């Protein structure tokens, strides 16, 4: 009887141990499944983050290019006073020449007026810079615009009307973004006191030119978009 009792007890313990083993094994299986699911979830999240980051970077690049289609302003780190004089004087000459073309080829009265303002303001700026350079040794002003603007002037001379207006104003936005960066850099980092003062005085004028150019360019785009809509 005692032996039979012991046998039954062993059987029960074996049953309980096997049942516990089944629970442990079943839990291990679910743990592996949960781990796989977790890894898949992490993978999905990582993919979504990568896509979002790529989209954000693309949007940033587009924003840097500018809503007006112009490129972002360049860096002028390491610029010398002599280089500033050459760039600023060449920029003045370019804006004067392009402004004259605008008064002849533009269709919009606002574009014509802007061109006239460029001729007046940049002629004034050019004379001020020449006066400063005339008192300095080792500084030389540009004799003509850079090759890019010489070619651009020739190209725009063959265009007129609305096509000219949009091309010219787009260029004005780009040019004045560059000029603002150039003059602000010189005002803060230039070595020559007179050139720093000239840059600090002229920078706000160029910023106003940029604001006007962006406003006119936006108006031209809105008009062009409206004409396209009417034509559909």
Note the pLDDT of residue 39.
Answer: 60
> For residue 79, how many other CB atoms are within 10 A of its CB?
15
* Nearest CA among 139, 132, 24 for reference residue 81: 139
Question: Which structure tokens are listed for 145?
Answer: 């615009």
Note the pLDDT of residue 20.
Answer: 45
Note the pLDDT of residue 224.
Answer: 74
Residue 134, helix vs strand vs coil = coil
Note the pLDDT of residue 76.
Answer: 87
Domain definitions of the chain by residue range: 1-65, 81-231
Note the pLDDT of residue 75.
Answer: 80
* Nearest CA among 201, 199, 1 for reference residue 88: 199
Note the pLDDT of residue 26.
Answer: 53
Please state the pTM of the whole predicted model.
0.67
Task: Provide the CA 58 distance to its chain's centre, in angstroms.
Answer: 11
Query: Which CATH architecture best describes the domain 81-231?
Result: Up-down Bundle (1.20)
Dihedral, CA of residue 90, residue 107, residue 206 and residue 64, to nearest 10: -90
* Nearest CA among 60, 108, 88, 75 for reference residue 218: 108
Note the pLDDT of residue 77.
Answer: 87
Ranges of the chain with pLDDT below 50: 1-8, 10-11, 14-15, 18, 20-25, 28-30, 42, 45, 48-49, 51-69
Note the pLDDT of residue 36.
Answer: 60
Note the pLDDT of residue 228.
Answer: 56
Tell me how far apart the alpha carbons of residues 34 and 85 are, in angstroms, rounded to a whole number.
Answer: 68
* Nearest CA among 105, 100, 102 for reference residue 119: 100
* Nearest CA among 207, 218, 190 for reference residue 121: 207
């Amino acid at each position: 009887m005692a032996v039979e009792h012991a046998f039954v007890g062993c059987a029960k313990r074996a049953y309980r141990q096997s049942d516990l083993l089944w629970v442990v094994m079943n839990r291990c299986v679910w743990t592996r499944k949960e781990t796989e699911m977790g890894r898949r979830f992490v993978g999905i999240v990582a993919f979504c983050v990568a896509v979002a980051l790529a989209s954000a970077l693309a949007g940033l690049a587009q924003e840097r290019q500018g809503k007006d289609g112009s490129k972002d302003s360049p860096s002028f780190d390491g610029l010398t006073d002599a280089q500033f004089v050459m760039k600023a004087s060449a920029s003045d000459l370019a804006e004067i020449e392009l402004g004259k073309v605008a008064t002849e080829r533009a269709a919009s009265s606002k574009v014509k007026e802007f061109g006239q303002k460029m001729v007046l303001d940049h002629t004034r700026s050019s004379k001020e810079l020449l006066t400063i350079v005339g008192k300095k040794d080792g500084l030389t002003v540009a004799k003509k615009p850079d090759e890019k603007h010489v070619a651009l002037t020739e190209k725009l001379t063959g265009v007129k009307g609305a096509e000219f207006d949009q091309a010219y104003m787009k260029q004005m936005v780009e040019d004045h973004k560059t000029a603002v960066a150039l003059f602000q850099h010189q005002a803060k980092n230039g070595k020559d006191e007179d050139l720093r003062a000239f840059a600090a005085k002229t920078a706000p004028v160029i910023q106003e030119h940029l604001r006007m150019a962006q406003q006119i360019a936006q108006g031209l785009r809105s008009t062009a978009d409206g004409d396209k809509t009417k034509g559909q």
